[in-house]
Amino acid sequence: MEVLALVVSLALLAFTFALITYKRSGRGSQLPPGSFGWPILGETIEFLFGKPEKFVADRMNKYSPDIFKTKILGENTAVICGANGHKFIFTNEQRYFTVFRPHSTQRLFRSNENKAPDAPPPPPTKNSEEIKSVKQQGFLKPEALKRYLPKMDSITHQLLQTNWAGKSVVLVHPTAKLATLTLASQFFLGINNPDRISRLVDLFDKVTLGLHCTVLNFPGTTYRRGQTAAAAIRKELQIVIQEKKQAMASGAPMQDILSHLIVATDPSGKTVPEAEIADKIMGLLTAGYSTVATTITFFMKYVGLNPKIYKKIRAEQMEIAASKKPGELLEWEDLDKMKYTWNVVCETMRIVPPLQGTFREVLTEFTYAGYTVPKGWKVYWTVSSTNMNPKYFRDPETFDPSRYDEGEAPLPYSYAPFGGGPRMCPGKEYARLAILAFVHNAAKNYKWEVVDPYEKVEGDMMPEPQNGLPIRLHQQQ
């Protein structure tokens, strides 16, 4: 009898535990269709190592064009799809959603000083949010960027002159990464040290790859390489912070974000710790690095494969150049004259999104398309459900900049390379300036052809050409 009572007790305990888990996971409601995949791993492998647009499209076809469930990066996740899905997410920020960063990203972008290796990352502080809104976003507004555009033009011109002049074949992707990091370093840090920046490129590549990966902390893994690179960047940035403090003490003007972070204080008058400043600057540099470099690279590819498109871009840029006096640099008004060039950039971002999507955490249970998404789940927003969908773009496989002409703009919420709503990328205008400054100098001085039109594209979350996109240059007069 004692054995029977023990078995019954254990069975009741197991049933109670299963019921609690069932209710907490939301299975008492009608969850979105889909699969959580393998135990522990879920569908992370398919998500990270398959094409993201294929991952999304396959499940939209199999389960629902509106929403499906999955488990990626250790999280129960609802993927909300289509233009209506974009609208729902963008218009319900803070009501249903808050920011969520994958665990690998959380661990890479926090100082490891005085913390155990596996300690959870600290929550954002009120001071952190104030700095972000008051300082960073202020610097990224058009009125601030307007003053920086001529310097962007000058830096890009010098960099292309140094790396491309007199050469018949060059690699676009390394040049785009160097140019992008150089511009970001000047803008965010106020430094233009070519040797230092060249050393940082490889480190930022490793950090970028580590943003979306499984947290496997042993030698040889993507996460470990990203973690090691982040530590090296953080160390270099702390040296830069010391240099900046010395320069400011000597009366140097505060013309960059780093200077303002150094003097920022919280309500009690305390300044931000150097380790926290380094983390924030590393995040800013990363955000302004890989996505811009990716767009520049694939812009150069598609233009190099389309002589007619190049001819129109060249004419537009030369008209701007002809309006300038010798040595006069780009001004804000010139950007309004680059309408066709920007259409080509937009089409590049549609075909090859520089960022596939972002995560949110569900603040309160909600219903969408007849399905319930429980509190605590994650929501994944992705461009993949619209960018290549013939419902929103005619002949979506065709590279066609004319689809952005006046009167032919994409349907609302169908094209959102920078996100939307309150969480639209605050660096959108900065990215536009960096890309157009590069294009202006490239098209003004060179014609180019893609050496290998069929070069393999590696990376799924962050695409890049396998061999760096070699192009054949022809100097223009």
The DSSP annotation for 399-418 comes to --GGGGSTT-PPPTTT--TT
For residue 22, name the pLDDT band (cuts at 50, 70, 90): very low
**Residue 211, amino acid:** L
- Which of residues 258 and 52 earns the better pLDDT score? 258
Residue 94 has pLDDT above 50, yes or no: yes
Per-residue confidence (pLDDT) for residue 462, from 0 to 100 = 81
Per-residue pLDDT, averaged over 15-37, amounts to 61
Q: Are strands 378-382 and 75-80 parallel, antiparallel or unpaired?
A: parallel
Residue 116 has pLDDT above 80, yes or no: no
What integer best gives the mean pLDDT of the chain?
Answer: 85
450 — phi, psi (to 5°)? -80, 125
Q: What is the pLDDT of residues 95-104, one digit of tens each?
A: 999 988 888 8
For residue 278, name the pLDDT band (cuts at 50, 70, 90): very high
Per-residue pLDDT, averaged over 349-374, amounts to 94
d(CA 455, CA 264): 47
Instruction: List residues bridging with 474 in a β-sheet.
Output: 447
79 — phi, psi (to 5°)? -100, 115
Per-residue pLDDT, averaged over 105-133, amounts to 50
d(CA 19, CA 16): 5
Per-residue confidence (pLDDT) for residue 397, from 0 to 100 = 94
Residue 134 has pLDDT above 50, yes or no: no
Per-residue pLDDT, averaged over 188-209, amounts to 88
Contacts of 305 (CB under 8 A, 6+ apart): 399, 450, 453
Per-residue pLDDT, averaged over 330-350, amounts to 96
Residue 84 has pLDDT above 90, yes or no: yes
Residues present in the chain in total = 477
Contacts of 249 (CB under 8 A, 6+ apart): none
Cα distances from 447 to residues 71, 170, 435, in angstroms, run: 46, 12, 17
Closest Cα to residue 460, out of 301, 386, 353, 378? 353
Per-residue confidence (pLDDT) for residue 95, from 0 to 100 = 93
Residue 251 has pLDDT above 50, yes or no: yes
* CATH among 3.30.420.40, 3.20.20.80, 3.30.70.360, 3.30.43.20 for 31-123+355-413: 3.30.43.20
Residue 130 has pLDDT above 60, yes or no: no
Per-residue confidence (pLDDT) for residue 370, from 0 to 100 = 95
Assess contact for 304 and 442: CB atoms under 8 A.
Answer: no
Residue 154 has pLDDT above 70, yes or no: yes
- Which of residues 334 and 108 earns the better pLDDT score? 334
Among 46-60, 136-150, 256-270, 382-396, the range with the most confident prediction by mean pLDDT is 382-396
State how far Cα 272 lies from the chain centre.
26
Per-residue pLDDT, averaged over 254-279, amounts to 86
Residue 161 has pLDDT above 80, yes or no: yes
Helix (H, G, I), strand (E, B) or coil at 382: strand
